[in-house]
Structure 1
Amino acid sequence: MTASNDSILILGIGNLLWADEGFGVRCVEALNAAWALPDKVTAMDGGTQGLYLLPYVTAARHLLVFDAVDYGLPPGTIKRVEGDAVPQFLGAKKMSLHQTGFQEVLASARMLDRFPESLLLIGVQPVELEDFGGSLRPAVAARVPEAVAIALDWLRARGVRPVPRAPGTGPADDSALARAAYEQGRPPEHLACRIGDVRFFPEGD
């Protein structure tokens, strides 16, 4: 059984705190900033919420996911995967726990017989992940507009007509995690550990 409505969910998943892991979230951020979407389309920062996303996934008829994925391709490469192949790619080379969690979401939706009618993964091969507090690397950041363009074409194929926003009129995000603030506010390396929180390292390491 699929969702009885025409609802569409666009999810950006990943962790902003680990460099290119934030690709999916930044794609949703860029989409929301530049395009107004109808009520039946929800564009969501799914972060690393795992099974907490299940109610949103099972309520959607169509699902699009942005994520950083280890495809074994040259860094910065965009690849789209559709339908039943999506869980296989998310599970082939797990880069972080969020991918395990989202695999469980899709498996649970399947068991509930509420799997989306259509599913598209837009993934990028990361350049760098081991950089705590870092942002997207240039080769990955450059692919965000391409990923958004693929998503727009996918939406139009389902009868959705996104409307471009006038510059500066998108949803305001004045949080410290908004991309501009996040990148400009990063402390220098001698003040901020790049590989994790030093408070949790064993003494002597």
Structure 2
Amino acid sequence: MNEKQILILGIGNVLWADEGFGVRCVEALNQNYEFGENVKIMDGGTQGIYLVQHVQEADVLVVFDAIDYGLAPGTLKTIYNDEVPKFMGAKQMSLHQTGFQEVLAMAEFTGHYPADLLLVGCQPVELEDFGGSLREEVKAQVQPAIDIALAYLTQFGISAQRSAGTSQALAPGQLNLSEYEQGRPDEQAACRTGDSRVIGSAVGESTK
């Protein structure tokens, strides 16, 4: 029996508030659920074109991302199959979405394109907060988004088991949502145009 290869991908940038929605979804999925060997959970971050080979290998692709649908902040919307590339480029919020459009186009051009696609997108509340985290309306949609994806995957015979939370992390520990938020300066100490933890290190590097 040839099992379908499933890729569950979260894309976005956790350093820009709600743009990290997709990454936080796969982070939670990886922490709380276990799948068979034919399911790959991946933090795609802002890797863009470097994701091509992973997409090419997938029969079924599930993508989590923050998408500007023009809806009420925190609203979830699901897009399927041929409509996915259109929505990824309809109203781009950042370069990672342009990059992922190119990933899908290249996969299609090479003839190795997922037969089934699902995009679970969330309307962001705030993006202009460098070093910020998910706003409450968006954070509240992480589990509902995961539930949508899990329900979708059942049609392909994929079922998830609750895990004991011992899975290897997808990203460095300091980027884990809880650690990231605990290390965030309070409202008075934090620079509203960025997080001094990030800005300080960037300035230091540039002066070397």
TM-score, length basis structure 2: 0.89
Q: Matches of residues 174-193 of structure 1 in structure 2 within 5 Å? A: 175-189=173-187, 191-193=189-191
For residues 52 and 148 of structure 1, what CA distance do their matches in structure 2 show? 24
For residues 78 and 154 of structure 1, what CA distance do their matches in structure 2 show? 15
How many residues get paired? 196
After superposition, the C-alpha distances for 1:1-47 in whole angstroms (9 at most, x for unaligned) are: xxx86110000000000000000000001111111011000000000
Report the counterpart of residue 82 of structure 1 in structure 2. Answer: 80
Report the counterpart of residue 68 of structure 2 in structure 1. Answer: 70
For residues 166 and 40 of structure 2, what CA distance do their matches in structure 1 show? 18
The structure carrying a bigger helix percent of its residues is: 2
Deviation at 1:171, TM superposition (A): 3.5
For residues 192 and 167 of structure 2, what CA distance do their matches in structure 1 show? 32
Is the CA contact (8 Å cut-off) linking 1:133 and 1:194 kept in structure 2? Answer: no
Report the counterpart of residue 31 of structure 1 in structure 2. Answer: 29
For residues 150 and 190 of structure 1, what CA distance do their matches in structure 2 show? 38
Corresponding position: 1:51 with 2:49: yes
For residues 146 and 190 of structure 1, what CA distance do their matches in structure 2 show? 33
For residues 92 and 193 of structure 2, what CA distance do their matches in structure 1 show? 19
Which amino acid letter does the alignment assign opposite residue 42 of structure 2? M
After superposition, the C-alpha distances for 1:137-168 in whole angstroms (9 at most, x for unaligned) are: 000000001000011111211101211113x4
After superposition, the C-alpha distances for 1:78-104 in whole angstroms (9 at most, x for unaligned) are: 000001101111101000000000000
In structure 1, list runs of 5 or more residues that go unmatched. 201-205
Secondary structure in structure 2 of the residue aligned to 1:116: coil
Q: Matches of residues 2-151 of structure 1 in structure 2 within 5 Å? A: 6-151=4-149
Deviation at 1:174, TM superposition (A): 6.6
Secondary structure in structure 1 of the residue aligned to 2:175: coil
Q: Post-superposition, which runs of at least 4 consecutive aligned residues in structure 1 deviate over 6 A?
A: none
Secondary structure in structure 2 of the residue aligned to 1:130: coil
After superposition, the C-alpha distances for 1:34-93 in whole angstroms (9 at most, x for unaligned) are: 110110000000000000000000011110000000000000000000011011111010
Report the counterpart of residue 152 of structure 1 in structure 2. Answer: 150
For residues 8 and 174 of structure 1, what CA distance do their matches in structure 2 show? 24
